[in-house]
Structures are given as C-alpha cells and as structure tokens.
Amino acid sequence: MTTRREPPDIRDIIATKRDGGTLKQQEIEAFIAGIVEGSIPDYQIAAWLMAICIQGMTRQEIVDLTLAMAHSGHVLDLHRAVPSAVDKHSTGGVGDKTSLVAVPLVAAAGIPVAKLTGRGLSFTGGTIDKLESIPGFRTNLNEQEFLDQVARIGAAISAQTRDLAPADGVLYELRNATATTGSPPLIASSIMSKKLAAGADAIVLDVKVGSGTFAQTEKEARELAYMMVDIGTQAGRRVTALLSDMSQPLGAAVGNALEVREAIDTLRGNGPPDFREHCLTLAGEMLLLSSKAESREKAQRLAEETLNSGAALVKFGELIEAQGGDRRIIEKPSIMAQAKWVEETPAPHSGYIAALDAREVGLAAVELGAGRRVKRAPIDPAVGFVFAHKVGDYIDRGEPLFTIHSNDRQRLETAKEEVLQAYRWSKTPASPPPHIYGTMK
C-alpha cells in the first residue's frame, strides 16, 4: 500500500529558511507551484524572499529553485524555429542598454537571438522599459509569436509571459518591492530560469561589478557568475560570463527614451566609446559561443564589421517593426517622448573626475521617474540624464557636466543635487576603471 504524501506546509517552508535550514526539492517545487496557482499570498512570498535574502541558499537549493521556476510554465523548444539560438543577459546596471545593440548585431551576423527580459529593479534600468518608450512597440509576445519572429527575422525581445517562467514574473516584481533584489541566489535563479525557459542553446552573461549593480565587489560578481554558469552547465547549456564595470554609468545616457536614442546612435557607428566597446565585446562572445567564429579575435572582428556595415541598424529596424513599433524612430528619434525641461548643469569647479557613483545616479533617475520604487509603478520614458564626461576626464569649471531631462521642476532640482553628490573630484589625473575584469566559463 502506497502512503499518501501530504503537501508541505507553506509556513514550515518559510520557517525552515528563516532558521537557516536547507529546503528539499519537494518543498521548493511546492512553493513555486503555489505561486503560479495563486494560492500563496504576497505576504508569505515576501517573507520567504526575505528569509532567503538573509540566510542564503545552498548550491543544490539554487539549482532546484531555478529549475522549478523554469518549468513553472512552458519551456520553449527553439529548435522548432531555428537550428540553434543564443541569448544574453545583464545582471543589471545604470545606463545599460546593451541588448538594444547586441541583439540586432548578432542577429545581423547570422546567429538567431531569442531573448526574454524584464523591467527595471530598484535603481537599475530594464530592457522592457526602454523598448516600451518606442511608440507602439509590443513587449508581450506570446509563445508562438516569439518563435515565429525568431524564425522570420532571427531576433525577438519579449517580456516574460504567463506561459514562460511565470513564477519568476511574480518574484521579480516582489523582489523590487521588498528590498530583496540584491540576493545572489534570487538574482541567479531569476536570470537563469528565464534563460532556460527561453530555450537558447548558448547563453552569454554580463555580470556587472560596482556600485551601480547588486555585486559591489569583483569577488561578489565572480561568485554570482560561477553560480549562474554552474546552473546553465547542469542544465546542458553552453554558458560564458563576462565581468564588466558598473562603478559609473555605461555610456552617456541614463533614462529610457534617452538610452534608445544612444543605442541608435551606436548602431550608426557612433555612440560613446565605452558603450560601443562593451557592445562589441559582448556580441563577440555571443558569436564565439555560437561557433560562428573560430577564435575570440575573429568573433570580435566579425562583430565590428557587422556594426560598421550598417546591417545591425537595419536589423534593429526589422525588430522594431516586427513587434509593432514605429520604425521611423531610427531616422527621427524625436518621435519618442521628450521632457518638458532640458537643462545643462555646469561643473562646480575644475579638476579630474575621480568617480561618478552609478548607484547614486540610478537613484536620482528614479527620483525623476525613470525607475520605480514600488511594484507596477508607472515609468516616465522621457526623463533622465546625459553625461558629457566620464571618470578620468579633466573638466574646467563652468563646462557642461551633465544634462537633465525632467517633466517636473522640483524633481529636476532634487535630482540635480543628488547627481552632483555622486561625483568625486581630484586635482591630479585619475584613471578610469577597467572595462572588463575577466571572462568565465
């Protein structure tokens, strides 16, 4: 006679993790199932998230959580659409609009890119928020639309749907509202569950290091990278992780429509040097991992040739049009929302910029309305900053330091003071931080 196993009590699952215990696979799967079914209220999910944030998780718990989240809905079989596909993901940062360049670039080079992504968390920007600043752009593709688009144009970027990793969609929003965004197990499981559910054969991870992301130190970033590479490898995927700097904003623009404009400028062969270099490095790794090139040097060369040829810009236009967006923004970015007030802020004194704290800039962007403090808060696509100088630059007093785009005069003044406080100055030359700290497999 088979003994009927009672489902675990949700309160016991929360208490086990609260007390530093280890959750069994069955308990994790039951909790994730309850989230998807809607039988576990937000306050219990929030308590569980906080317990994980404080107590952490074992390697096996993280793998079990990721797989449970990935299989909480459909797992895409991209081979129904293309022979193979690559995906990329950033752990979040300030001014990180890399997907808007890397996805069409790699697709234009002949490797299909299937990307599920999310909205901004805390002070970091989200790819979906940026894309939604493009008039008409649809970020809610269903499974069949996603597959059809990858097959047709070789690229798709979509938000999670109810069918793909639905548990993560719930957890993603609650992490932002409960100050649990910085937990390495929750970051790793969130990212990798989406990557596994999206079905890509190869995944390149852009793991950020610095004040403008959740891994403040190189050590923390390496631990997070190893965690995600391990999850992907155990799931049978090819995974590479780049460790890149996020101590200062990436590129010049911070803010949704402003970042789309900068991405378009970069696809035209221009754009800020640091952002252009980052996009090429990331795209090169995607091409290398997909076996499109035999060596990193050849992959980087292919990425640069594709960007310089204009093919990546054309592919971005195809992506916009395929998802219902107004393709005219490529020639006329002013179609996107524009702020009521646009004001330059001069340098308060002369000297070298020794630091520009990305976290403080991100928080100031939230103050303007470019990010969200609470679950489902609206985003103002027009607001943000454009920086004229980066760390290591010398600037004279009175020269333009940064430009603020705002729809509220009081918020503009508050944000201006917050960003000015993010600078650290030096009378002697200051070295910019390294762009890439390393590559991990």
Answer yes or no: do 343 and 204 share one domain.
Answer: no
Residues 197 and 73 sit within 8 Å (Cβ to Cβ): yes
With vertex at residue 109, the alpha carbon angle to CA 86 and CA 144, rounded to the nearest 5 degrees, is 45
- The reply to whether 65 falls in a domain is no
Answer yes or no: do 124 and 223 share one domain.
Answer: yes
Q: Give yes or no: 194 in active site.
A: yes
Answer yes or no: do 293 and 346 share one domain.
Answer: no
Catalytic residue among 17, 97, 194, 389: 194
Answer yes or no: do 159 and 308 share one domain.
Answer: yes
Query: What mean pLDDT, rounded, does the chain reach?
Result: 92
Q: Based on the structure, what is the number of domains in the chain?
A: 3
The share of the chain scoring above pLDDT 70, in percent, equals 96
Among 101-105, 340-344, 368-372, name the one with the lowest average pLDDT. Answer: 368-372
Answer yes or no: do 329 and 247 share one domain.
Answer: yes
The DSSP output letter for 7 is P
Q: Give yes or no: 195 in active site.
A: no
Among the listed residues 230, 198, 253, the one whose alpha carbon sits nearest the alpha carbon of residue 78: 198
Catalytic residue among 96, 168, 265, 380: 168
Catalytic residue among 17, 64, 72, 89: 89
Tell me which H or E stretch contains 425: strand 423-426
Q: Give yes or no: 175 in active site.
A: yes
2, pLDDT greater than 60: no
**Torsion angles phi and psi, residue 312, rounded to 5:** -70, -40
| Domain CATH code at residue 344 | 3.90.1170.30
For residue 18, the enclosing domain spans 10-56
The DSSP output letter for 127 is H
Answer yes or no: do 246 and 280 share one domain.
Answer: yes
Q: Give yes or no: 334 in active site.
A: no
Catalytic residue among 130, 175, 372, 405: 175
Among 113-122, 251-260, 414-423, 428-437, name the one with the lowest average pLDDT. Answer: 113-122
- The reply to whether 255 falls in a domain is yes
Answer yes or no: do 352 and 375 share one domain.
Answer: yes
1, pLDDT greater than 50: no
Answer yes or no: do 30 and 92 share one domain.
Answer: no
| Domain CATH code at residue 31 | 1.20.970.10
Structure tokens that stand for 349 in this block: 């004194």
Q: Which of 293, 317, 333 is the last residue of a domain?
A: 333
- 164-191 burial, b at 16+ Cβ within 10 Å, e below that, comes to bbbbbbbbbbbbbbbebbbbbbbbbbbb
343, pLDDT greater than 80: yes
Answer yes or no: do 287 and 385 share one domain.
Answer: no
Q: Which of 315, 333, 351 is the last residue of a domain?
A: 333
The β-bridge partners of 425 are 353
Distance separating alpha carbons of residues 181 and 159, to the nearest angstrom: 18
Contacts of 362 (CB under 8 A, 6+ apart): 94, 122, 123, 124, 125, 212, 249, 254, 371
Q: Give yes or no: 89 in active site.
A: yes
- The reply to whether 344 falls in a domain is yes
Answer yes or no: do 206 and 321 share one domain.
Answer: yes
Answer yes or no: do 133 and 222 share one domain.
Answer: yes
Structure tokens that stand for 60 in this block: 């096996």
Question: What does the pLDDT read at residue 118?
Answer: 75
**Torsion angles phi and psi, residue 28, rounded to 5:** -65, -45
376, pLDDT greater than 80: no
